[in-house]
A and B are shown apart, each in its own frame.
Chain A
């Protein structure tokens, strides 16, 4: 009884949604570390030309394959050493963050917006349209994502833009399924019926009534897609089907460095480490987001 009477005052003091989110998010220490690393990554991407000591394509012919500063033969002029063409590794890595960030953003925005709209349509459309859409998604999902992206790039021609388009197409079905599943669950609920009875049109029902309540799993999936997109774009670059040399994209840098792996460890180690740290940070953040946004999975 005491609790019941206290309820009205409690609702007044209820923390804002953002504060509540931050409370759950910050309980996960890994997620907070991930957030800081991600912030550093975004900072690098935003101010890359100011942070990079040299132009990433400038070739220092006298300093070919120079080891990192702390190793014998290295100098602080090139803290992480130079690559086989005498380009500064650090500058290339910093500029590379731009490409990865760009890939992540574009892929997620395209895949989420497309996927959410198709998913909403599928959830509200007549049964046969729904079945048709879901079968098409099943077909796309039957192909391993990297393979389908590879073949799409083979059709469109190898470039970073085409790699992004291909990855976005491959990721789309996940959002369609996720949105459709939450729409179907939400549609049964009373608040939707009451909105419909009150005369809300179909598009209002779709975008204003139902969509906000389906967002949590989509946001979590978007965070995870961001990291997968970076990985896949780097893999395509590594296979020669993504960004083309001399672009300082991390996967492309690895492909260029492959023949030197036994002679110069640094040209291989740093670009991969950059990919791993970025992807790991985003995945840590994604886990935190899931804990904070998805009440069903909380405290598991």
Chain B
């Protein structure tokens, strides 16, 4: 197991270096002089220009610049935002809990509905339930989520008035951020109605962000279950006279979960990409919206830092999934 872990880590480091190289190159391959581009239409004085060149280290050799960038990253230095003048690192971690909260809720939504849907479809293979569930899953999988978000807003916010359209909580409530998770903070604040408000703000973004993972998990669970249900040990369990619930729930699902866990882990990239759209539509103050806004504001240090951080998170989760996979499935380790 230890050897497996080390070999997996050995693959992680070169990829990490490559990712830093890509984000390092990002500012430098922009067409034209990046400093002029960042200054925008206002332009800048010669003095300020020199100051910027020095600050960004453009006067040093490229290799030296990369080395400085890399050592900076290791110390949590991703540069400063051009717009807010705050360190990118701090901004990222101030906004990340909002995205994390939304992603966790979306994943819970997807797993809680997707797993049973897949199991029910597999058990009723070829029958009405299977067809209905799998058709819906395919529709969900094909859904342009930005449109789905607008439709939900039209129905639930516009026509029914049940849910708010944007933000994380009503402006009425104000309390200091303790954990960064609005659901927990609103409970800790003890203000009446704050928690309900936070929940109501979360519902639509959660559904929108969770739709594609839900469809993927349902489809994957179904095919994994079908494979497992054909195994000999399931026939043995049936022959022993175990109840179908026990066979499907305990014997089959347990082994069918292995590929499903991989899919859940791999959905993290999808979730973060989906967060870009979902957060933009619902004005959710997380890193997805932050990235899009920064791209439009030409705040390149933020884009560069955000790109790197997101890639590192995706890689860390993939590493974690691989290690978990090695723990659950001993066959993988021995390869």
- Do A and B form a real pair? yes
Residues of chain A at the chain B interface (Cβ within 8 Å) = 30, 135-136, 138-139, 142-148, 150-151, 154-155, 157, 227, 231, 234-235, 238-241, 251, 254, 258, 261-262, 265, 268-269, 271-273, 275-276, 279-280, 283-284, 287, 300
B310 touches A235 (CB 8 A): no
Enumerate the 4 nearest inter-chain pairs by beta-carbon distance, A residue then B residue, closest first.
Answer: A272-B147, A144-B273, A139-B18, A146-B273
- How many angstroms between the C-alpha atoms of A67 and B303 in the bound complex? 41
B144 touches A231 (CB 8 A): yes
- Within the complex, what minimum Cβ distance (angstroms) separates A73 from chain B? 18
A151 touches B303 (CB 8 A): yes
**B22 within 8 Å of A by Cβ?**
yes
A283 touches B138 (CB 8 A): yes
**B183 within 8 Å of A by Cβ?**
no
Chain B residues with CB below 8 A from A239, complex form: 276-277, 280, 292
Identify B150's interface contact among A138, A142, A154, A272, CB under 8 A: A272
Chain B residues with CB below 8 A from A145, complex form: 269, 273
Chain A residues with CB below 8 A from B102, complex form: none
A155 touches B139 (CB 8 A): no
**Interface bits B141-159 vs A (CB < 8 Å: 1, else 0):** 1111011101101100010
**B95 within 8 Å of A by Cβ?**
no
Main secondary structure of the interface of A (DSSP, over half): helix
Q: Which residue of A lies closest to B25 (CB)?
A: A155
B151 touches A268 (CB 8 A): yes
Chain A residues with CB below 8 A from B150, complex form: 254, 258, 261, 268, 272
A235 touches B142 (CB 8 A): no
12 new A-B pairs (CB below 8 Å) besides A142-B15, A276-B144? Answer: A146-B274, A240-B296, A241-B295, A262-B153, A268-B150, A272-B144, A272-B146, A273-B147, A276-B139, A276-B143, A276-B147, A283-B138
- Within the complex, what minimum Cβ distance (angstroms) separates B36 from chain A? 15
Q: Which residue of B lies closest to A237 (CB)?
A: B146
B154 touches A279 (CB 8 A): no
Chain B residues with CB below 8 A from A147, complex form: 272-273, 276, 291, 307, 310
- Within the complex, what minimum Cβ distance (angstroms) separates B320 from chain A? 14
- How many angstroms between the C-alpha atoms of A279 and B215 in the bound complex? 14
B147 touches A268 (CB 8 A): yes
A238 touches B277 (CB 8 A): yes
- Within the complex, what minimum Cβ distance (angstroms) separates B288 from chain A? 8
Chain B residues with CB below 8 A from A287, complex form: 138
- How many angstroms between the C-alpha atoms of A106 and B110 in the bound complex? 33
Chain B residues with CB below 8 A from A154, complex form: 295, 303
B15 touches A135 (CB 8 A): yes
Chain B residues with CB below 8 A from A227, complex form: 142
- Within the complex, what minimum Cβ distance (angstroms) separates A78 from chain B? 21
Tell me whether A283 and B142 are in contact in the complex, defined as CB-CB below 8 angstroms, given that A136-B18, A269-B151 are known contacts: yes
B138 touches A280 (CB 8 A): yes
B277 touches A139 (CB 8 A): no
- Within the complex, what minimum Cβ distance (angstroms) separates B315 from chain A? 5
19 intermolecular pairs with C-beta atoms under 8 Å apart = A138-B11, A138-B15, A138-B18, A142-B15, A142-B19, A143-B307, A143-B310, A146-B277, A151-B303, A157-B31, A234-B146, A238-B146, A239-B277, A239-B292, A261-B150, A262-B154, A268-B154, A272-B147, A273-B147
- How many angstroms between the C-alpha atoms of A84 and B268 in the bound complex? 38
**B192 within 8 Å of A by Cβ?**
no
Identify B314's interface contact among A135, A144, A268, A279, CB under 8 A: A144
- Within the complex, what minimum Cβ distance (angstroms) separates A91 from chain B? 20
Chain B residues with CB below 8 A from A240, complex form: 296
- Within the complex, what minimum Cβ distance (angstroms) separates A144 from chain B? 4
Name the residue among A143, A146, A234 with the largest chain B CB count within 10 angstroms: A143
A144 touches B272 (CB 8 A): yes
- Within the complex, what minimum Cβ distance (angstroms) separates B125 from chain A? 10
Tell me whether A135 and B226 are in contact in the complex, defined as CB-CB below 8 angstroms, given that A235-B277, A265-B154 are known contacts: no
Q: Which residue of A lies closest to B311 (CB)?
A: A142
Q: Which residue of B lies closest to A139 (CB)?
A: B18
Chain A residues with CB below 8 A from B307, complex form: 143, 147-148, 151
Chain B residues with CB below 8 A from A279, complex form: 142, 144
Identify B147's interface contact among A135, A136, A265, A275, CB under 8 A: A275
**B29 within 8 Å of A by Cβ?**
yes
- Within the complex, what minimum Cβ distance (angstroms) separates B68 from chain A? 21
Chain B residues with CB below 8 A from A157, complex form: 31
B315 touches A261 (CB 8 A): no
Chain B residues with CB below 8 A from A265, complex form: 154
Q: Which residue of B lies closest to A144 (CB)?
A: B273
Chain B residues with CB below 8 A from A155, complex form: 26, 29-31
Chain A residues with CB below 8 A from B223, complex form: 300
- How many angstroms between the C-alpha atoms of A181 and B270 in the bound complex? 23
Chain A residues with CB below 8 A from B29, complex form: 155
**Interface bits B13-25 vs A (CB < 8 Å: 1, else 0):** 0110011001000
B276 touches A146 (CB 8 A): yes
For residues 215 through 253 of chain B, which have their beta carbon under 8 Å from a beta carbon of chain A? 223, 226-227
A139 touches B144 (CB 8 A): no
For residues 258 through 317 of chain B, which have their beta carbon under 8 Å from a beta carbon of chain A? 269-270, 272-274, 276-277, 280, 291-292, 295-296, 303, 307, 310-312, 314-315
- How many angstroms between the C-alpha atoms of A211 and B141 in the bound complex? 30
B158 touches A254 (CB 8 A): no
Identify A150's interface contact among B144, B270, B276, CB under 8 A: B276
